[in-house]
Structure 1
Amino acid sequence: MMGVLSIIKIMGKAGDIMANQPLTTDNAAQMALNDLDQQLGTTADGLTQEAAAKRLETVGPNTIQHSQKQSQLLRFLKNFTSLMALLLWVSGFVAMFAGMPELGIAIWAVNIINGCFSFWQEHAAQKATDSLRKMLPTYVNVIRDGKVTQIDADDLVPGDVFQIQAGNSIPADARITEAASLQVDESALTGESLPVFKQVAYEHDDGKFALKNIVFAGTIVTSGTATATALATGMQTEFGQIAKLTQSQKQTTSPLQRELNRLTQQLSLIAIGIGVAFFILAIFFVHYPVAKSFIFALGMVVAFIPEGLLPTVTLSLAQGTTRMAKKHALLKDLNSVETLGETTVICSDKTGTLTQNQMTVNHIWLPGQEYTVSGTGYVNNGHIQLNQKDFDISQDANLARLLDIALLNNDTKLETPKDNQATTKILGTPTEAGLNILTDKAGLDKVKALQATPRIAELPFDSDRKRMTTVQQLPEQQRMLYTKGALDGVIQICDQILDRGTVRPLTATDKAAIDAANKKYAADGLRSLAFAYRTEADSVTPDPATYSIKTAEQHMTFVGLAAMSDPPRPEIYAAVEQCHRANIRIIMVTGDSALTAKSIAVKIGLTSADAKVITGDQIDSMSDAELQQAVKGEVIFARVAPEHKFRIVSMCQANGDVVASTGDGVNDAPALKKADIGIAMGVTGTDVAKDAADMILTDDNFASIVAAIEEGRTVYSNIQKFLLYILNSNVPEAIPSVLFLFTRGLVPLPLTVMQILMVDLGTDMLPALGLGAEKSEPGIMDQPPRPRNAHLLSRSIIWKAFGLYGLTASLISSLAYFFVNMTYGWPANALAASGPVYREATTMTLAAIVFCQIAAAINCRTQLSSVFKIGIFSNRHIIWGIVFEVFLLTCLMYIPLLQGLFNTAPIGGVEWVILLCIPVPLILLEETRKYFVRRHVLKSATKGA
């Protein structure tokens, strides 16, 4: 029934494999585990590192290979079939037939250069995205050489023994060898949304993928833990076989792409409309021949088409994602950059995001006794430093019991650093890691403890129960059930208390004392865990596999509390303040207690002491309208479940907010997908959360979110700066033609079509690309988020491009044209329509436009700030772009071949002095304008305050 998983033959020692004998999932599911290990060349202790390395060379990496949706050739040709490109192809043919082959070739060259550049940029952006995806590896805990180690899932091979737990994406088709309450979401394969129970024993339900003791690659662990042996990896898995048939994926267009497409179409249609109008006027008003009128109109079309818009936007997005990656924020999609800049609300977890996620136990509360845990390092002598002195744990039965629970009800491992510089690696949760450090300080040996009292059953933690229970086998035909978790989740299953070594009934007075201690720790910003246990005889539950939440978690004995601190990240204070300045609201959404959440929120400046705290239970009783109103104010959400986070995000969006939401657990996936920007934790996040998110934080740090939002705003701002830059040259390119039209040809064309082409694609392009690489402008995070309905081509840009910048450059370039004619006797003599004087005049017009563009490139670098403040030479891309355009202009003037092609001529020293002086007043005038705008903004802000 199942496809062939792998083809192997054992040759000598375990680990050497060659193609020979088929092994299907059906066969693997029914084989005895010893036989399966022999078939796969492995053992319960896993493969050796050497054998795994050899096997990886044979079977290849554990990856799903995606086919290209479109061939490189088709992707390349696509860049030559847009509305703008088709228009230029036709224009080139018309120029050829009109007897101007050099113009036709030049127009085609524009198309070819632009198309090649667009393809190169798209290819470079795709490579950047692919490289970022490679920075997001999925890890798996495997047993190699008898030890648990963490490897990249790509390096998993058949025969590897690996561990899985809730939130993990299963990395390979595998046979389960151990399982505890394991449930798997197989909807990716079957379409059924309900989780499927998995077990060690063979059982076959109806339908495909219905083997109870087989897990499949690409499915998700929703609860429980398990150990499994890999049967097939990569394209040999069932998921890989299906992927071969279903690799076509329809791409959706992002809001930014839609706006850019609309903008390109609008500008192209405007250009065509202006060209048609000028064509008609040239024929009937100036009485130009049809062919010449068309060439004249063609100059207008070329002048208004933004040839480099799309590739430069792609470059800006790619550079933005690269800068974000350096700041620990990895984006899956380039266009998510734009959405980040619109963010108005961040729904953030607390632990690990706002705090350091380095839990350290510093208080232990027991009935009648409270200890302060002190000391640094590991004691390992049977003593723990409590209340500033060494303390023998055998002196306190309650303390000994609490430490036993902390030791054995614990799935986290600490990987010892290999050198003094490396940090300890946590394989599990930081909370359990804190308990590990506590028990290590007390000198307890987990390996020996598990040998003496092995774990025989487990009820994993889940967000509903807020607790975890393990069953340990004692030598005396007895079992110990250990439970730890949130106080409200543990106390409800307890009816007894361990008081100084004596078990007695749990009274209301006891509960009040426990609750008071818990609230005291929470008010100090500490997180507390409660511990409980129960002893029972083997005969009570003969089969450990039959333990359930209902039968196991009852009649427990309460032991005590361990309070631990998770200090705020040092950089969080500045990040929160930056969000407040940027009018971005932060809503803390945490599973911690209300007191702890508020204590941390107030401490880091997230909220004031007047902030309202809403718990998960309260959310359940609130209507959508009530919750929608609540999220508008200063609010903290505590003791929430992941499904509450989904509602919170939804209600923020209902208020019109653009929401970024963080998450790390399997149940956070719906909220991450619902949010406008889903942000998963790269360190502690589950595979499911990472898959659902748009962005992954490699350092789990809230400050990285703020840095990413700043980059998102910067990218959008840079696109607008580029748009302003390329559009402002349209007016000085068009005005000379307007002079020609409305003087009925008395003023010959001050700028030829070839020269317009040179401005648009030659001298303009590199400085424009430099604007795409501009760093964040000072004060960009002091402005409110832009509205969702804001357009790239804003009224401000239109006014500056076609009004302020454009008309100024038009005036200067027109004066430059007439200046040259004046030196040769105008107005006494008629304006030259051809010959050396005409060529020199058009050259001066072209040069004046280029030097106006130099000023524009510098002026466009900031919207409000002074360019002198950010450093006029700080953007080397623009500086080299300016150097290039001056060099190119010089070549056009003095190289004979180019003079003939572009109708140019050398200019004199006086003209060069005039040109060099042009940028200075333009820059100073713009600096003056920005100064008064800044004063107006500051004055308005002061009044508002």
Structure 2
Amino acid sequence: MDEKKIRELYAESEIEDVYHTLKSTASGLSSEQAKERLRKYGLNEIKRPPKQGQWQTFIKNFTTLMAILLWISGFIAIVSGTLELGIAIWLVNIINGTFSFWQERQAQRATDALNKMLESYVQVYRDGKKQQIEAKNIVPGDVFSLQAGSKVPADARIIKSTSLQVDQSALNGESVPESKKNSFEPGEGKYAESNLVYSGTTAVSGNATAICFSTGMDTELGQIANLTQSQEKVESPLSRELNRLTKQISIIAFSIGLAFFICALFFVKYPFAKAFIFSLGMVVAFIPEGLLPTVTLSLAQGVKRMAKKHALVKELNSVETLGETTVICSDKTGTLTQNQMTIHYIRTLNDEFTVSGDGYVNNGQVELNGKQLFYDEHPDLKRLVQIASLDNDTAIENKDGKNKIMGTPTEAALVIMAQKAGYDIHKEVLKMPRLREFTFDSERKKMSTINQLNDERAIVLVKGSYSDLIKDCTQIQVNGAIRPLTASDRQKMDQLNHDYAAQGLRSMGLAFKLVDNNQSINSMTLKDAESELIFSGLVTMSDPPRPEIYDAIKHCHDAKIRVVMVTGDSKLTAKTVAVKIGITSDKARVIDGRELDEMSDSELREAIKDEVIFARVAPEQKYKIVKTFQENGEVVASTGDGVNDAPALKRADIGIAMGLSGTDVAKDAANMILTDDNFASIVAAIEEGRTVYSNIRKFLTYILSSNVPEAIPSVLFLLSGGTIPLPLTVMQILTIDLGTDMLPALALGAEPSDPDVMKQAPISRKEHLLNKRVLFKSFLWYGLLEALISVAAYYFVNLRSGYTINHLASGNNFYVAATTMTLGAIVFAQIANVINCRTEKVTVFKKGLFQNQHIWTGILFEIVLFFALTVTPGIQEVFNTTSLSWSDWLILLVIPIPLVLIEEARKWLFYHRK
């Protein structure tokens, strides 16, 4: 039987039939029955997907396509006779893989700590007695009790209840609690059956007794978790791009190796074995060994910076994915809004009072025409605040400066409103003690209390749905005076109520009446209490947007990122909030769950190309929305905190869960967790993601540029048939790749964001890391300039030593000096290159020449390393180097200056001149 039919069976059946079906009774199960059912059904737990073992996770970091290429590269180096080089390449791979594993372990530990929760307990009836057990031990057929603040442990049918209201936002995304009772009403939308409660929800007021019919993975929560876990994780764009890049570089490296092998055979007349070894050295030279460490460091730096901004990333690659995000599918309740009902206006017949201050805070005030007003300065306001405070079962405790609500969000909002008006609730409760109460129920939609007014009179205080309460009113209070309620008064209030609803505000009516103490209050009926009332006014409320959300949405729009609201709330509320915070214009189409079911895939794909809001959607529909955006070529981030968000979080390119209010299911499904539940943190995370992608490109440009001056000397050697001695040896080439270039390249991975990074469109999926721009700048601009300088340095030393262009030094000290100078020219040209690569368009002087201290540490390192290679006996022989004169050092030190100035001129010519 499917879940819908199971819900219908237990909701619509008579309670005696439910007992019969579950083989239980009103007094619950026996201990023996409970043990047998626990063996049969298992623990009442949401099974989590099995995590990869530590060894599997560890090995994964050493078997990526780029890592495999480096293992092969190291092997080739060893085969070609350079054992030290091969070992060095393997060490780079080992260090990088270990670092990646450590970073992911750190993130996983933080996530596990975030998910740790206290054991949950439930009061059940076993052997005819009430006893407390762990919620995981509850079984179908168990009868249990619920009180305000209790988490619902399993899906259950209500047997009896008193004023029960349940917060179901974790399942349906609605901010307003649902009223529950023991009689059946279908309600609107999923999970709206009046006599069913669901695992993962919370009782916010009242109490009830219920009988469990589903536990663990058979609950609605479990079904959603199962849907989430059955989805395969989408490979991140960065993983796909790095695999593509690895293939491209492999093709380039092996193609060049093959070309050099053929040239060595036919032009230089090398023996086959020597030509093969020479070409293998060139293959290794063209593989960027520093790519993986740079990517890992860039991602790790992004993770570290994001952690400081309250964003916990579980997987390193998720950082870059944020940078490519084009659409954010966001839940409303608790994500865009505060999930705290707040009073906005108090309305009497003639006056509108504005209530300032958002959320459950008692700072703020009540104003009339812009002036602060205390409750006792206006008779109508005084009465209205009195009703809101005393006809109320909510208490608010202030602990460590934070308000803790004990009751429903709506009643808490009324209490906070009274505090803002200066009303001392505790004092007034003592003056006007409660004599009787008529609890709220979903049929009449009202709550009433009778309070002592003085020795002679009592007062009936009533609050509830405006449209239901106004029908019971015959009089109205205006400026402290009580007079008959006219048709004109009612028409005016109806219009005001309609206008507030159009703004997405909920209205609550408040009324009262005075009764004599000689009247028997204890025998007063509900009808007596709630008839012939005096209308006082209404209050309007909503779940307000987070204060920082306005700027966050604006930054998203500046960054060309669409934000699409996907919520379980009503169409009117969803659109009002979306328009208010700037997600969409008033022209946006609102599609609810029913319409979504009726739409074909092609219709939905067309609909999401325009402004759109999704309301009243079910979990599987959120998943469908995310999937359809992806099919339209979008990179999708999906945010949420409830169980209902988990399938979409898992399907999205990056799922973002709320750490404080988020359910465990949502956090397990997500790639990133916001530890402060702040949507604005996503914008900071996107900036970091874009910065990471940009830094990887900067690294690529930098590292590939040196390949040209490394290759050109060998090309001259080959094309001259060996007449031009090798201006650069293979060991010197690899010294650049694995020595002098390494730290500056890693420093580029830590480069701060460019000033305009959030003013650009997201990186297109059609655009690759190794694109035409990178190839042009690397090979035909930076690389060509470096090649000219390095070849010039080689010939300069030859000519200075008395050799001619047709007769160059070979196999002597002058030849070693020439190759050392060639190596030095490339090293110092790369100093200019790393400075130039720090920005794409902005002048490096505007960004700050010394902003990235790691760059200068890297530059100092490569100068010191080059110096050590040229003066250290033993090392000189290995790397074919010698000491340079002070004049040679002066030439090398000058090389970076014109290269930086030339690049600054190019940036000005192509970008700033316009």
Instruction: Confirm or deny a common fold (TM above 0.5).
Output: yes
Does residue 303 in structure 1 map to residue 285 in structure 2?
A: yes
**How do residues 616-631 of structure 1 correspond to structure 2 at under 5 angstroms?**
620=595, 623=599, 631=608
Partner residue, 1:68: 53
Does residue 104 in structure 1 map to residue 83 in structure 2?
A: yes
Q: SS of the counterpart of 2:809? A: coil
**Worse-matched range after superposition: 508-517 or 771-780:** 508-517
Q: SS of the counterpart of 2:76? A: helix
Q: Distance in 2 between matches of 1:601 and 1:395?
A: 31
Partner residue, 2:327: 345
Partner residue, 1:91: 76
**Worse-matched range after superposition: 364-373 or 122-131:** 364-373
Partner residue, 1:327: 309
Conserved 8 A contact 2:433-2:451: no
* Count of residues paired in the alignment: 790
Partner residue, 2:131: none
**Worse-matched range after superposition: 440-449 or 159-168:** 159-168
Q: Distance in 2 between matches of 1:292 and 1:561?
A: 93
Instruction: Determine which of 85, 101, 120 is the counterpart of 2:98.
Output: 120
Does residue 261 in structure 1 map to residue 237 in structure 2?
A: no
The one-letter code sitting in structure 2 at the alignment partner of 1:110 is I
Does residue 284 in structure 1 map to residue 266 in structure 2?
A: yes
Return the offset for 1:852.
1.4
**How do residues 258-657 of structure 1 correspond to structure 2 at under 5 angstroms?**
258-348=240-330, 360-365=342-347, 387-390=373-376, 400-405=386-391, 407-408=392-393, 414-418=396-400, 422-425=401-404, 433-439=412-418, 442-444=423-425, 491=467, 496-497=472-473, 499-500=475-476, 513-521=492-500, 527-530=505-508, 561-564=538-541, 571-587=548-564, 591=569, 594=572, 601=579, 611-615=586-590, 620=595, 623=599, 631-633=608-610, 637=613, 652-653=629-630, 655-657=632-634
Structure 2: give runs of 5+ residues left out of the alignment: 1-26, 36-46, 123-133, 139-143, 172-179, 183-196, 210-215, 220-224, 365-370, 453-459, 514-520, 527-532
**How do residues 760-771 of structure 1 correspond to structure 2 at under 5 angstroms?**
760-771=737-748
Change (3 A) 1:429 1:114: farther
Return the offset for 1:777.
0.5
Q: SS of the counterpart of 1:711? A: helix
The one-letter code sitting in structure 1 at the alignment partner of 2:247 is Q
Q: Distance in 1 between matches of 2:148 and 2:905?
A: 62
Conserved 8 A contact 1:168-1:221: yes
**How do residues 242-253 of structure 1 correspond to structure 2 at under 5 angstroms?**
253=235
Q: SS of the counterpart of 2:656? A: strand
CA distances 1:394-451 after superposition (whole Å, capped 9, x unpaired): 998776554445x22x5xx644133xxx443567886554333235554445999999
Partner residue, 1:50: none
Instruction: Determine which of 837, 846, 850 is the counterpart of 1:869.
Output: 846
Does residue 714 in structure 1 map to residue 691 in structure 2?
A: yes
Change (3 A) 1:331 1:648: same
Instruction: Determine which of 674, 682, 701 is the counterpart of 2:678.
Output: 701
Change (3 A) 1:308 1:378: closer
Percent identity for Structure 1 against Structure 2: 46
Conserved 8 A contact 1:141-1:163: no
The one-letter code sitting in structure 1 at the alignment partner of 2:102 is A
Q: Distance in 1 between matches of 2:276 and 2:904?
A: 41
Q: Distance in 1 between matches of 2:170 and 2:912?
A: 61
Q: Distance in 1 between matches of 2:384 and 2:319?
A: 54
The one-letter code sitting in structure 1 at the alignment partner of 2:800 is T
The one-letter code sitting in structure 1 at the alignment partner of 2:376 is D
Conserved 8 A contact 1:142-1:162: no
**How do residues 225-236 of structure 1 correspond to structure 2 at under 5 angstroms?**
none
Q: Distance in 2 between matches of 1:645 and 1:166?
A: 29
Q: Distance in 2 between matches of 1:468 and 1:687?
A: 34
Instruction: Determine which of 868, 885, 892 is the counterpart of 1:891.
Output: 868
Q: Distance in 2 between matches of 1:865 and 1:109?
A: 36
Q: Distance in 2 between matches of 1:782 and 1:429?
A: 43
Q: SS of the counterpart of 1:437? A: helix
Change (3 A) 1:68 1:347: closer
Partner residue, 1:815: 792
The one-letter code sitting in structure 1 at the alignment partner of 2:97 is F
Q: Distance in 2 between matches of 1:350 and 1:249?
A: 24
Partner residue, 1:42: none
Change (3 A) 1:252 1:163: farther
Structure 1: give runs of 5+ residues left out of the alignment: 1-27, 37-61, 145-155, 188-197, 201-214, 230-235, 380-384, 460-464, 542-555, 940-945
Conserved 8 A contact 1:394-1:400: no
Conserved 8 A contact 1:664-1:680: yes
Change (3 A) 1:414 1:865: farther
The one-letter code sitting in structure 2 at the alignment partner of 1:722 is F
Does residue 880 in structure 1 map to residue 834 in structure 2?
A: no
Conserved 8 A contact 1:165-1:221: no
Return the offset for 1:835.
2.3
Conserved 8 A contact 1:669-1:689: yes
Q: Distance in 2 between matches of 1:258 and 1:184?
A: 39
Change (3 A) 1:872 1:365: same
Conserved 8 A contact 2:435-2:449: no
Change (3 A) 1:286 1:493: farther
The one-letter code sitting in structure 1 at the alignment partner of 2:244 is R
Return the offset for 1:68.
2.3
Change (3 A) 1:123 1:593: closer
Q: SS of the counterpart of 1:563? A: strand
The one-letter code sitting in structure 1 at the alignment partner of 2:508 is A
Conserved 8 A contact 2:512-2:536: no
Change (3 A) 1:394 1:832: closer
Q: Distance in 2 between matches of 1:817 and 1:709?
A: 46
TM, length-normalised to structure 2: 0.71
CA distances 1:372-405 after superposition (whole Å, capped 9, x unpaired): 66899699xxxxx995441699998776554445
Conserved 8 A contact 2:550-2:582: yes
Change (3 A) 1:876 1:78: same
TM, length-normalised to structure 1: 0.69
Does residue 748 in structure 1 map to residue 748 in structure 2?
A: no
Q: Distance in 2 between matches of 1:618 and 1:106?
A: 62
Q: Distance in 2 between matches of 1:141 and 1:227?
A: 21
Q: Distance in 2 between matches of 1:125 and 1:262?
A: 24
Q: Distance in 2 between matches of 1:416 and 1:305?
A: 62
Q: Distance in 2 between matches of 1:451 and 1:141?
A: 37
Aligned-CA RMSD value: 5.8
Q: Distance in 2 between matches of 1:72 and 1:693?
A: 18
Conserved 8 A contact 2:342-2:544: no
CA distances 1:1-26 after superposition (whole Å, capped 9, x unpaired): xxxxxxxxxxxxxxxxxxxxxxxxxx
Conserved 8 A contact 2:504-2:572: no
Return the offset for 1:802.
1.5
Change (3 A) 1:569 1:398: closer
Q: SS of the counterpart of 1:887? A: helix
Return the offset for 1:606.
5.3
CA distances 1:35-86 after superposition (whole Å, capped 9, x unpaired): 99xxxxxxxxxxxxxxxxxxxxxxxxx9999672526875686589954244
